[in-house]
Amino acid sequence: MMKENKEIRKGKEPRERKETKETKETVKHGNVMPKGYTPRLKTAYVQKIVPAMMKDLSVGSPMAVPKMTKIVINIGVSEAKENIQALDLAKEDLTQIAGQAPQIRRAKRSISNFKLRQGMPIGVRVTLRGAMMYEFFDRFVALSVPRIRDFQGIDVRFFDGRGNLNIGLKEHHIFPEINVEKSPKARGMNITFVTTAGNDDHARALLEYLGMPFKKAEKKESKVESK
């Protein structure tokens, strides 16, 4: 009986420790979602945006409608080569913003003018897909964009010609998840919204339906000369 109990105990303990560790890591990185949860933006895309875009683009299949595939967020940390704690702080900030642990990006080549050696950490990057992607987009448009100083809309010139939108931010403090006291230095970041549109017009239409506030084109008023 004692031997059987030991075998049962040995079989159960590692599994329980592993589950506990995974749970702690999940809570730490903020990637916690209920089973079967569907973001409201994804529901709106399937139920409202797809039928509307099928009509606008004159396509007969929902599969032909453009969709967003991933969001890539990059933060450069130039001072990491001298102060590794700056990299850890940037990694923690990006984890809070994205809800997912980022990757550390390292230099691919050595550049003597910048005192950069191959393999040095120079930034952090995270790629969001699926539910995490829709959740970030929803929070970005609803909470973060209105906090941009002197914001007048996203410039359509930020598209790359293939249906992807690249936005450069000067301050990461626009995200409400960031604690200014713990991270007082403003960090710039680049956010890339990747779509399957293939061209800028269809991608802009998709992102507008999703809620992205683009800058409105200025109308040139014709001056009528008085006789």
Q: What is the pLDDT of residue 31?
A: 55
Residue 19, pLDDT > 80, answer: no
Q: Tell me: the pLDDT tens digits for 34-44?
A: 777 889 999 99
pTM of the model: 0.78
Q: What is the Cα–Cα distance from 60 to 63, expressed in whole angstroms?
A: 9
* Degrees, nearest 5: CA angle 98-104-109: 140
Percent of the chain with pLDDT over 70: 78
Work out the pLDDT band at 186, boundaries 50, 70, 90: confident
Q: What is the DSSP string of 196-217?
A: S-SSHHHHHHHHHHHT--BPPP
- Whole-angstrom CA distances from 81 to 117, 123, 183 are 9, 10, 19
Question: In the chain, what are the domains?
Answer: 67-210 (3.30.1440.10)
Residue 219, pLDDT > 80, answer: no
The SS3 assignment for 133 reads helix
